[in-house]
Structure 1
Amino acid sequence: MEKEKALDLIKELSNANGVSGFEDEVVAVLKKYGKEIGELSEDRIRNLFLKRQENKENQPIVHLDAHTDEVGFMVQAIKPNGTLVFLTIGGWVASNIPAHRVRIRNSDGGYIPGIIASQPPHFMSESDRNKPLDVGEMVIDIGSLSYDETVNDFKVKIGAPVVPDVAFEYFPEKERMFGKAFDCRIGCAAMLDTIGRFQGKELPVNVIGSFSSQEEVGDRGIKVAVKEVQPDIAIVFEGCPADDTFSEPHMIQSALSKGPMLRHMDVLMITNPRFQKFALDIAKKYDIPVQESVRKGGGTNGAVINLAEKGVPTIVLGIPVRYAHTHYSIVSFSDYQHAVNLAVKIIEELDAATLASF
């Protein structure tokens, strides 16, 4: 995919509204770009599948996956003063939430702006200022003055999804991208780009991609998707948390502009060491920069695929994202490019015999 088209795709994916369970806008963007690449289909949980038209019968299946949802919020109740009580969707730290703009979907299907508010410091006691802020003490203010105005004029009801209100920006002089939802929209873009590189080409393996839903709330979509794909091997694209702005130098394992990250272990999965070595050897062979990590936290859709059927060798190809699970994230375009290039080279060198060796 040409650079400008890739940037357009990433921009549209980042700007799309799509907390877990409400990924419709994201799916629409992927359909727009994916229809030129292969055969598209959906299931009932809003997983979107992309199959190469060149796939053949009786070939091993390489499953590519990236999740479409983002962390956000949901309206739980409406107060008499018109403000919104909300719950978090996905993993948030309370201190990152207040004083930011959000978008709330109303009953007409449009999104209206709001601000996450907490008690102003002018009305806090000294003890109030020093205690940790709880999500239950925050509200979303849409400028309404009453319950009736919120429901009847703004048309906001309980159950409404809420997303961070952030617009994508690209800074070409440093090839850095700013925006929301790079976990995992940057992975979605990389996966679509990867599949597109094989248009018109013959491969000894079949490639099927799943843009899976609801990863941020317990890897739900992939549990359905893997049954549909029935893979022999898998690559999971992720927007992985970058650690280069807070870690000691010897602990930095997912820095910006140092290449994609291959994870040896996290809380939910120990990566197949043979497949991992194969991927690292490919990176070295083609001089593609890559980082390695061992994590004591986190987890990905890879854990679900890894445990499917008789066990599926799976690697996680992470593109570093600074400040994932906050309103604002930063990604290097070069990391995106290297992730796509590495995935392409890995797939090109896979065949039935190689898969058997894992």
Structure 2
Amino acid sequence: MDKSETIELVKKFSNANGAPGFENEPAKIFDDYCQKFGETSIDTMQNAFCKFNGNTGNRPLVQIDAHEDSVGFIVQAIRPSGLIKFVPLGGVVPTNMPASRVRVRNKNGDYLPGIISTKPPHFMTAAEKGKVPEIADMSIDVGTTSRQQTIEELQIDTGCPIVMDVTCQYYEYNDMFLGKDFDDRIGCAAVVKTLETLQRKKLDVDVIAALSAQEEVGLRGAYVTARKINPDVGIVFEGCPCDDTFEPDWLIQTGMGRGPMLRDMDTSFIANPAFEEFSDQVATKLGIPHTRSVRTGGGVNGAAITYYNGVPTIVIGIPVRYEHTEYNWIKLSDLEDSVKLAVGIIEELNKEILESF
């Protein structure tokens, strides 16, 4: 896959609609790309799998993971005015939401544009100007004037999913993408590129890759994929929030252009220490820039895979600025370095090394 093909891959995943529970589009993209790498399938939860062509069935099994969903919303009810009352799917905060563009999938499967509505400042009291409304008080405006029009003409009602409305762009001058949902669509792209690179490698392990559903609402898909795959070791790609725009340099643990981040812990997960150190050593040996992180918030699929029989698992984080908001920045070189690290780790894994974990 050359640079232009990689850029197109990232754009496709970023532009795909896939709120938790509604991941059909990213699952289909993964399936289309990966059929040449192995046996693919999509289950009823929309978890997508690729059983690698080179597998023998008698070697240790590596699960490569990324989650295909992104934070979004779901329609709770339609107000008399035609505005939509909604609830979040995943972790969002009110300060990041007003005036954002969104797409609402109606009952016919069409995505229609909308805006998270705001009161014009002309009508705000002094107190309102200094306060962010609660999510329960927000609405989405899809351009209608009545409840009947929203429900009957637009076919939007309770249960319809809502995603951010952003088209991904790549900027050559700074090697950056500006788009939506890089948590974790950039991880999805990394899984595809890893499988493509592994085709040219001689391995001592078998590989099954999976894009898991519903991570943003409790790591639900990864609990299912781990049981189905039954791995001996797990490698998770995750779009990880950058802290390089607000932390002092000595405390930055995920920075744009600083390469992959190996996550030691967060509120859900502690990496297998031996596997973590092994991966750090591989990155150093290959000259891959990387960081380590200890996080006091967040959760990752590494937890769900670890909880399945104590599988040794690491998380390779790809830096993302402004996660869980309308627009995200990522750097192409960080994606490439993350893939290099995963490939380098898998190339060196064998039965004896796994037993040392």
TM-score range, shorter chain: over 0.9
- SS at 1:41 equivalent: strand
Q: How many Å apart are 1:24 and its aligned residue?
A: 0.5
Match of 1:66 in 2: 66
Match of 1:262 in 2: 262
Match of 1:294 in 2: 294
What percentage of residue pairs aligned between the two structures are identical?
A: 48
2:272 is aligned with 1:272: yes
**Counterparts in 2 of 1:29-44, with a 5 A limit?**
29-44=29-44
Match of 2:303 in 1: 303
Aligned residue type for 2:321: R
Match of 1:318 in 2: 317
- SS at 1:197 equivalent: helix
Q: Distance in 1 between matches of 2:78 and 2:33?
A: 38
Q: How many Å apart are 1:200 and its aligned residue?
A: 5.5
Q: How many Å apart are 1:281 and its aligned residue?
A: 0.5
Q: How many Å apart are 1:165 and its aligned residue?
A: 0.4
Q: How many Å apart are 1:196 and its aligned residue?
A: 1.3
**Counterparts in 2 of 1:97-246, with a 5 A limit?**
97-199=97-199, 201-246=201-246
The answer on whether the counterparts of 1:99 and 1:117 sit within 8 Å (CA) in structure 2 is yes
Aligned residue type for 2:335: Y
- SS at 2:255 equivalent: coil
Q: Distance in 2 between matches of 1:162 and 1:49?
A: 25
Paired residues in the alignment total 357
Note closer, same or farther for the CA distance 1:121–1:288 as it changes in structure 2 (3 Å cut).
same
Deviates more, 1:232-241 or 1:202-211: 202-211
- Give the TM-score normalised by the residue count of structure 2: 0.98
* 4+ residue segments displaced more than 3 Å: none
The answer on whether the counterparts of 1:52 and 1:206 sit within 8 Å (CA) in structure 2 is yes
For residues 198-236 of structure 1, the C-alpha deviation after alignment (integer angstroms, 9 at most, x for no partner) is 226442100111100000000000111100111111110
Q: How many Å apart are 1:44 and its aligned residue?
A: 2.1
Aligned residue type for 1:354: I
Q: How many Å apart are 1:139 and its aligned residue?
A: 0.5
- SS at 1:70 equivalent: coil
Aligned residue type for 1:325: H
The answer on whether the counterparts of 2:219 and 2:301 sit within 8 Å (CA) in structure 1 is yes
Q: Distance in 1 between matches of 2:201 and 2:131?
A: 60
For residues 324-357 of structure 1, the C-alpha deviation after alignment (integer angstroms, 9 at most, x for no partner) is 0001000000000000001001000000000000
Aligned residue type for 1:333: L
The answer on whether the counterparts of 1:115 and 1:142 sit within 8 Å (CA) in structure 2 is yes
Note closer, same or farther for the CA distance 1:206–1:93 as it changes in structure 2 (3 Å cut).
same
Q: How many Å apart are 1:124 and its aligned residue?
A: 2.1
Q: Distance in 2 between matches of 1:300 and 1:65?
A: 10
What 5-or-longer segments of structure 2 have no aligned partner? none
Q: Distance in 2 between matches of 1:308 and 1:22?
A: 25
Match of 1:327 in 2: 326
Q: Distance in 2 between matches of 1:239 and 1:225?
A: 19
Q: Distance in 2 between matches of 1:200 and 1:52?
A: 12
Q: Distance in 2 between matches of 1:259 and 1:326?
A: 22
- SS at 2:183 equivalent: helix
For residues 172-209 of structure 1, the C-alpha deviation after alignment (integer angstroms, 9 at most, x for no partner) is 12110000000000001001110111226442100111
Q: How many Å apart are 1:301 and its aligned residue?
A: 0.4
Aligned residue type for 2:112: I
Q: Distance in 1 between matches of 2:4 and 2:132?
A: 44
The answer on whether the counterparts of 1:183 and 1:238 sit within 8 Å (CA) in structure 2 is yes
Note closer, same or farther for the CA distance 1:136–1:119 as it changes in structure 2 (3 Å cut).
farther
Q: Distance in 1 between matches of 2:68 and 2:323?
A: 14
Aligned residue type for 2:152: N
2:285 is aligned with 1:285: yes
Q: How many Å apart are 1:71 and its aligned residue?
A: 0.4
Q: Distance in 1 between matches of 2:321 and 2:280?
A: 23
The answer on whether the counterparts of 1:118 and 1:137 sit within 8 Å (CA) in structure 2 is no
Aligned residue type for 1:217: V
Q: Distance in 2 between matches of 1:120 and 1:84?
A: 18
What 5-or-longer segments of structure 1 have no aligned partner? none
The answer on whether the counterparts of 1:54 and 1:201 sit within 8 Å (CA) in structure 2 is no
For residues 236-281 of structure 1, the C-alpha deviation after alignment (integer angstroms, 9 at most, x for no partner) is 0000001101112211110000101001111111211111110010
The answer on whether the counterparts of 1:9 and 1:33 sit within 8 Å (CA) in structure 2 is no
